Structure 1
Amino acid sequence: MRSAAKVHYDGYLSRIARDLKTPSPQLARAVDSALGAEGRLAALRTVGEERSLEPGTREEDEDEMERRTLLQALAALGLPASPISEALRNIRISVHRTVGGGEDGHIDEWDEIVVEYGHLYVPTPPRRLLLDLASDLVTVQQIIKRKQQEDARRNRAHSTSAPWSRVAAELCALMAKTLSNLGRPREAREWWRTAQSAAEASGDTDLALWIAGGRLAHGLYERRPAAVLLARADKVLERVSDAPSRGLLHVRGVRAQLLAPAGDADEATAELQMCGEMSGTLPPSITSEVHSIAGWAEDRLRYIQAWVHAHLGEREQLDGAVEHAHRVVAAEARRFRAQFGLLQAFGHVRAGDVSGGVRLAHVVYSRQPVEHRTTMVTSLAEQVLEAVPLQRSGEQIVTDYRELLAGSGRKAIT
């Protein structure tokens, strides 16, 4: 304490002792003089300053700052990291590295996590899914950064982060879809771009196409201009081969959905037929999975058919597609089943059965839990109302349906 008083830095010295502050050159000289160290302490301060500039030290500091920023972002979403969780995380990482563990060993586990999200996407309320995705995206981002730093240190010619970029791309696409479902299209758009970049970095062309198709599909429900979306779909198709794939099928399916409302019946029907033919050439691993959004099973094809036939006013074909879909769509996939019901209601109104179509839409939408009234569901519900001819808009059944939408539409989703 007497030495601290001598140099007039007692409070400051306390913070330095606890590693909360770095000593200034003036303080180093003052302490050196007070203790009679003949320049040795001042020299140590200079050595410490040089070490702080060594390669890797500043990088580690930046990594730590970024990690804290990400943790703060998670806390803002309602996912706080407790001191105990942080301590356990640091201990686990240290032990994992000591025993020779690396990220490569559990890429398969993250692939499984992505598969699980594909199954959870439809039955899980978007808000809950968003929190889980945010947490996992932070973890994957940190892994990718460490892989990139390791590649740079070892001067590797080939990146070892490509498989992780694929995982990140799929998680980012799921985040984009979730934000879109929550009625936040602008934020979703940024995530779509990040997902696309990550897919391209991974070298997975089918995944990049699948993400492009997803972005187009959500643009439909966000009511983006059809001409803009159609031009983007055509641009995507110009750059790829016609080799059948899940991603190509996704883009072509959305293209059929874009053509039908525009009244281009011939081209929409031709695109729909092409989707059916391509679907038959894909492996069962893609076409037999009806419980996940990651594949392209019969339910997806039936949905494209229902959309096209509904917008073209082809009631008989529409009802057939919906009937086939109900046989394969899981009962817990309530959002997807609601979308089929609302498409059918829309098609019936378009075909002239206003009372029947609106009544069906009212039943479907009123039974949908608020947390599942996503942008996709509500957009279709609104389209049913918009299809009602002006001269019948004052009928009681239409008025009741309008009030249902006004009272519990997107505003109920927070």
Structure 2
Amino acid sequence: MTLVFFGLARAPSHDIIGALQGVRIDLFLAKVDGKNGKNRGEDVARRQGDIDPSKSPTHAFGGVLRRWRDLCGLSVREAAGQMMITDSVLSRWEHGERLPPKDKVTLLDQLYNADGVLVALRQVVSVAEGAPGSTLEVRVPNGRDDGDDMERRTVLQLLTAMSVGAAVPVGALEIIRDGFDKSVDATGDYSLADWEAAAYQAAFDIRVKPPTDFIAGLLPDFVDIRKALEARPESDRAGLQRVGSQFAALMAMALVETGQFAEARRWWRSSRTAADASGDLDLRVWVRGRQAAIETDMPGYTAPLVLRLAQEAEHLSGGRSSVGVAEAWIGRSVVMALSPVPGEPVLSAERVLGRYDEIGAELPEFAIRETKAIWGWPSERHFGTRTNLSVLSGADDAYDQLARKLETIGVGGDQRAITATRLAQSTLLVKERPTEGLDQALQAYTALPAEHRTTTIKWWIDHLMRQTPDHARALPAVQELKALTA
């Protein structure tokens, strides 16, 4: 699977030929197809010589600025003229001599049509530059790294990989996640209200942002809350652990949508650990229930794992309805509909939807009123998820429910939700009218911007392929869909 990060869909061909040696990364050894179809990668690499992105995060950011200017086909003079700054100022930014002000980066992002990439990366750089040390090539006595230096190098590795459109380095994410795990039982001092507000915003952003953009925005917050946990006194400590668990769960969800499943499971584990440490029962239930539901989106998921997570959530709930219990029931229902486990009861559509509605009717009022954050369960979400369960459990009125769902979303609504719903319709159509169902799926998928073609969307394509009759598997639309999702 080819992963496109930070809105780099305009550069569809990434051939990363540089290698990581120690902590030194060659930022520009990448072939990139530019806006006009011209391969600029080798030319950029030849002209890159006087910029060393491995010197510091600021130097790396300067290299990123130059790369985006090159992709736009602008000279230094042309770009500086449109920014109404001197050539020398822009040149110093590109050479890493200083970090551009936030307002100037916002203007550069707009000028280069970077879709927020530069703004997000500057935020990462500002976090990294706050750590001690002036270079990435640090010699440490006895071969031991200072934690902040390692974290600083890690952030630079993430920055560099994302700037060339490569997949987020799993090892780099693991260093930050591991640091968080070690902090769950530490103490410190920080503003809990600010962190709760940040978690709430992130719980909304994950619903609407491309997952790679979301990861970029969450990373600096996660680094900061890890440090806060290390220095926090006992008062409000449980609150920070709660926020950290929410951040870790959101990171896991975004990683699933980018296809990094093994890493996502490790972040889920971190989220469960922090939730348990926080003592927040609803959160403990939600993390397990949410993972149970999300696991079913992963290719080759294991039914016993989903059922174990669902059972843990239901047991912890003590019979009390919550959003986590609803999530757990979704995971359990999908498993029993698509890959029943021996010894487990077969669930009819009536049973699946009946129990689902029972849980929804018993949810606390605050969960129903929450319309923005992912841990809310308003009526629109209840209905939308119910339609998906109707499809998977074989309800007679599933197609009609999907049609009503599209009406509810509206023409200008969530792009991913619209596409997923049309793909779900296609899985029903394809059984009786294969050509119509496959053509509708192909049209829906190709209309969705590349950065929104997430694991969940591709799951529906996989399900469509499984529902396609044998006699229709040679149709052109089947081959096109397979090629697009390979």
Common fold, TM-score beyond 0.5? yes
Instruction: Please name the residue that 1:259 is paired with.
Output: 336
TM-score normalised over the length of structure 1: 0.69
Instruction: Please name the residue that 1:178 is paired with.
Output: 254
- Rounded to whole Å, the distance in 1 between the matches of 2:194 and 2:158 is 25
- Rounded to whole Å, the distance in 1 between the matches of 2:358 and 2:329 is 12
- Rounded to whole Å, the distance in 2 between the matches of 1:265 and 1:321 is 24
Q: Would you say the 8 A contact 1:256–1:272 is kept in 2? A: no
Instruction: Please name the residue that 2:263 is paired with.
Output: 187
Q: Would you say the 8 A contact 1:256–1:268 is kept in 2? A: no
Sort the Cα spacing of 1:283 and 1:231 in 2 relative to 1 into closer, same or farther, 3 A: closer
- Rounded to whole Å, the distance in 1 between the matches of 2:242 and 2:411 is 28
Q: CA deviation at 1:329?
A: 7.1
- Indicate whether 1:74 and 2:155 are aligned: yes
Q: 1:123-272 maps to which residues of 2 (within 5 A)?
A: 123-147=208-232, 150-151=233-234, 160-223=236-299, 224-262=301-339, 266-267=347-348, 269-272=350-353
Sort the Cα spacing of 1:311 and 1:160 in 2 relative to 1 into closer, same or farther, 3 A: closer
**Alpha-carbon deviations, 1:273-322, whole Å to 9, x = none?**
12212212324432244443221123332333222322233352342245
Q: CA deviation at 1:142?
A: 0.3
- Rounded to whole Å, the distance in 2 between the matches of 1:388 and 1:271 is 24
Q: CA deviation at 1:220?
A: 0.8
Q: 1:15-414 maps to which residues of 2 (within 5 A)?
A: 65-78=146-159, 103-104=189-190, 106-147=191-232, 150-151=233-234, 160-223=236-299, 224-262=301-339, 266-267=347-348, 269-324=350-405, 326-328=407-409, 331-350=412-431, 352-395=432-475, 399-406=476-483, 408-409=484-485
Instruction: Please name the residue that 1:7 is paired with.
Output: none
SS in 1 for 2:327: helix
**Alpha-carbon deviations, 1:154-212, whole Å to 9, x = none?**
xxxxx641100001000000100111110000000100000010111111111122111
Larger helix share, 1 or 2: 1
Sort the Cα spacing of 1:353 and 1:311 in 2 relative to 1 into closer, same or farther, 3 A: farther
- Rounded to whole Å, the distance in 1 between the matches of 2:248 and 2:440 is 35
* Bigger Cα Rg: 1
Q: CA deviation at 1:339?
A: 1.7
Sort the Cα spacing of 1:290 and 1:347 in 2 relative to 1 into closer, same or farther, 3 A: farther
Specify the code of the residue in structure 1 equivalent to 2:382: L
Q: CA deviation at 1:135?
A: 1.0
- Rounded to whole Å, the distance in 2 between the matches of 1:220 and 1:384 is 15
**Alpha-carbon deviations, 1:206-229, whole Å to 9, x = none?**
112211122122211113033442
Q: Would you say the 8 A contact 2:291–2:309 is kept in 1? A: no
- Rounded to whole Å, the distance in 2 between the matches of 1:357 and 1:291 is 32
Sort the Cα spacing of 1:367 and 1:288 in 2 relative to 1 into closer, same or farther, 3 A: farther
Sort the Cα spacing of 1:353 and 1:226 in 2 relative to 1 into closer, same or farther, 3 A: farther
- Rounded to whole Å, the distance in 1 between the matches of 2:307 and 2:419 is 26
- Rounded to whole Å, the distance in 1 between the matches of 2:346 and 2:412 is 32
Instruction: Please name the residue that 1:83 is paired with.
Output: none
Q: Would you say the 8 A contact 2:430–2:468 is kept in 1? A: yes
Sort the Cα spacing of 1:328 and 1:143 in 2 relative to 1 into closer, same or farther, 3 A: same
Q: Would you say the 8 A contact 1:349–1:357 is kept in 2? A: yes
Q: Percent identity?
A: 23
Q: Would you say the 8 A contact 1:338–1:368 is kept in 2? A: yes
Specify the code of the residue in structure 2 equivalent to 1:107: L
- Rounded to whole Å, the distance in 2 between the matches of 1:340 and 1:121 is 19
Q: Would you say the 8 A contact 1:298–1:325 is kept in 2? A: no
- Rounded to whole Å, the distance in 2 between the matches of 1:325 and 1:284 is 26
How many residue pairs align between the two structures?
A: 312
Q: Would you say the 8 A contact 2:349–2:394 is kept in 1? A: no
- Rounded to whole Å, the distance in 1 between the matches of 2:458 and 2:148 is 37
Specify the code of the residue in structure 1 equivalent to 2:356: C
Q: Please, what is the CA RMSD of the aligned residues?
A: 2.7
**Alpha-carbon deviations, 1:111-139, whole Å to 9, x = none?**
11111112111221111111111111000
Q: CA deviation at 1:392?
A: 1.8
Sort the Cα spacing of 1:365 and 1:315 in 2 relative to 1 into closer, same or farther, 3 A: farther
Where in structure 2 are there 5+ consecutive unaligned residues?
1-144, 162-187
**Alpha-carbon deviations, 1:41-96, whole Å to 9, x = none?**
xxxxxxxxxxxxxxxxxxxxxxx92222222211111189xxxxxxxxxxxxxxxx
Sort the Cα spacing of 1:343 and 1:291 in 2 relative to 1 into closer, same or farther, 3 A: farther
Sort the Cα spacing of 1:268 and 1:312 in 2 relative to 1 into closer, same or farther, 3 A: closer
- Rounded to whole Å, the distance in 2 between the matches of 1:329 and 1:177 is 25
